[in-house]
């Protein structure tokens, strides 16, 4: 038997459905509806993809309508964040540093599973899906850590679900932002937004000056990454528009150095944009910061200095 990534997704779906149920019982109907729709994407995700592959479009269209409903539900003012639970002050004393063990079990068990997974082959089949080992390992590690946490605290399993769904509710629709933004990236790619931007850049720069081309490539990577929230989306567009035809073909840039440094230039843009919500907005909410752009503010000086260094590195290293 192989633990496939789909099983982990189903687990997420069940977990989100439990959160929806908690909200339903508390009569927070918009929140309950919100998590129910998201849970559907996890529970029926495979079925939707299989149906699309088989040529049946209505399941994907229904999911698409669900995503639009999520936007409308998120807008509703009744999606109030409930305050995160405060711990009981003296509770940690008898437990002491043993509390760290389950928290550290998430990263350490992930690591251990990733390392031993290639050797685990009961009945001749890999135990962990070799396609997505880290994500599967993270999911399994969360289950292991949950069992460890319940044993350490001797709390009933229901308590973990209540505390977890309280945390999820305090994140609210922000938790979903990374997923919707990635969806936007796919839609931008499908509607040709990237090609248009590469086309515009090609029109404004003088293509005979290699430093002008390099600057356009670097700034394009940063700007496009900021718009898409993802350097991976910006890379193929900027490479196809500027990097490959102008820098590599015309000016003889080293492909390996240009690709690597170009991608890292895009990463400087990732540090600057609210579109990279999972890195920049979700932590601001998770850490209960009053300003949702506080993490970006903390990153701006590092990102700008590093961007300048990176462009200088490119100018020095990519041309033979």
Partner 1 sequence: MNYWPLIGVAVVIAGFALKRNAVLVVVAAVVASAFAAGMDVGDLLALLGNSFVSNRALLLFTLTLPVIGLLERFGLRERAKRWIEGFKGLSLARLLIAYLGARQLLAMFGLIDLGGHAQTVRPLLAPMSEAAAARDVAFAKQPATVATAHESGAARELAADERTRVRALAAATDNVGRFFGEDVFLAFGAVLLIQGFYERNGIHLEPLAIALWALPTAIAAFVIHSIRIVIAQRGLRARAVDRAAPAAVTTVEAE
Please report, as residue ranges, which positions from 257 to 296 form the binding site for partner 1 (by CB under 8 A).
257, 259-261, 263-264, 267, 270-271, 274-275, 277-284, 286-287, 289-291, 294-295
The first and second tokens of residue 42, run together, are: 């996890």
Region near partner 1 per CB under 8 A, out of 23-31, 110-118, 119-127, 205-213: 110-118
Q: Which residue from 2, 4, 30, 159 is in contact with partner 1, where contact means CB under 8 A?
A: 159
Q: Which residue from 15, 113, 214, 242 is in contact with partner 1, where contact means CB under 8 A?
A: 15
Instruction: Output the CA torsion sign for 84, 89, 94, 100.
Output: positive
Instruction: Output the CA torsion sign for 46, 50, 52, 57.
Output: negative
Indicate whether 1 belongs to the interface with partner 1 (CB under 8 A): no
Give Cα 220 to chain centroid, integer Å: 22
Instruction: Note whether 319 and 210 are within 8 A (CB).
Output: yes
Cα distance between residue 106 and residue 168, in whole Å:
18
- Residues whose CB falls within 8 Å of the CB of residue 99, separated by 6 or more in sequence, listed in order: 92, 152, 153
Helix (H) or strand (E) holding 75: helix 58-75
Nearer to partner 1 (CB atom), residue 209 or residue 302: 302
Shortest Å distance, C-beta 211 to partner 1: 19
Shortest Å distance, C-beta 82 to partner 1: 12
Cα distance between residue 243 and residue 235, in whole Å:
9
Indicate whether 173 belongs to the interface with partner 1 (CB under 8 A): yes
Q: Which residue from 81, 107, 121, 211 is in contact with partner 1, where contact means CB under 8 A?
A: 107
Determine the Cα angle at 75 with ends 224 and 191, to 5°.
Answer: 35
Q: Which residue from 21, 126, 150, 315 is in contact with partner 1, where contact means CB under 8 A?
A: 150
- Side-chain-side CA neighbours of 320 within 13 Å: the count stands at 9
Q: Which residue from 89, 123, 124, 320 is in contact with partner 1, where contact means CB under 8 A?
A: 89
The first and second tokens of residue 47, run together, are: 């079925």
Alpha-carbon distances of 186 from 82, 194, 198, 229, 278, rounded to whole Å: 32, 11, 17, 12, 17
Region near partner 1 per CB under 8 A, out of 23-31, 122-130, 173-181, 206-214: 173-181
> What CA dihedral angle connects 192, 196, 202 and 204, to 10 degrees?
-170
Shortest Å distance, C-beta 141 to partner 1: 9
Shortest Å distance, C-beta 74 to partner 1: 4
Binding mask 192-231 for partner 1 (x = CB under 8 A): xx--xx-x---------------------------x---x
Running DSSP on this structure, what letter comes out for residue 281? T
Nearer to partner 1 (CB atom), residue 134 or residue 209: 134
Interaction with partner 1 in 48-87: which residues (CB under 8 A)?
48-49, 52, 57, 59-68, 70-72, 74-75, 84-85, 87
Indicate whether 237 belongs to the interface with partner 1 (CB under 8 A): no
Indicate whether 168 belongs to the interface with partner 1 (CB under 8 A): yes
Binding-site size for partner 1 (CB under 8 A) equals 140
Indicate whether 176 belongs to the interface with partner 1 (CB under 8 A): yes
């Amino acid at each position: 038997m192989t633990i496939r990534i789909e099983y982990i997704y189903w687990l997420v779906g069940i977990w989100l459905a439990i959160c929806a149920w908690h909200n339903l019982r508390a009569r927070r109907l918009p929140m309950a509806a919100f998590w129910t729709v998201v849970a559907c994407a996890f529970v029926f995700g495979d079925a939707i993809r299989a149906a699309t592959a088989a040529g049946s479009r209505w399941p994907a269209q229904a999911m698409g309508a669900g995503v639009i409903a999520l936007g409308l539900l998120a807008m509703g003012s009744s999606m109030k964040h409930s305050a995160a639970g405060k711990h009981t002050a003296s509770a940690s004393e008898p437990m002491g540093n043993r509390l760290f063990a389950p928290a550290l079990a998430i990263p350490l068990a992930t690591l251990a599973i990733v390392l031993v997974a290639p050797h685990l082959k009961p009945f001749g089949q890999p135990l962990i899906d070799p396609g997505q080992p880290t994500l599967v390992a993270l999911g399994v590690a969360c289950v292991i850590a949950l069992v460890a946490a319940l044993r350490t605290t001797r709390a009933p399993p229901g308590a973990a679900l209540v505390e977890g769904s309280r945390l999820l509710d305090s994140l609210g629709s922000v938790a979903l932002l990374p997923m919707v933004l990635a969806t936007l990236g796919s839609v931008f790619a499908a509607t040709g937004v990237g090609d248009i931007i590469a086309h515009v850049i090609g029109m404004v720069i003088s293509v005979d000056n290699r430093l002008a081309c390099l600057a356009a490539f670097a700034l394009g990577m940063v700007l496009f990454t900021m718009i898409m929230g993802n350097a991976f989306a910006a890379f193929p567009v900027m490479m196809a528009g500027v990097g490959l035809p102008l820098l590599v073909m015309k000016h003889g840039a080293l492909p390996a150095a240009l690709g690597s440094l170009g991608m890292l230039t895009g990463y400087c843009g990732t540090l600057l944009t609210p579109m990279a919500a999972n890195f920049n907005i979700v932590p601001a909410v998770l850490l209960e910061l009053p300003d949702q752009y506080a993490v970006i503010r903390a990153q701006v000086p590092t990102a700008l200095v590093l961007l300048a260094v990176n462009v200088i590195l490119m100018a020095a290293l990519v041309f033979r």
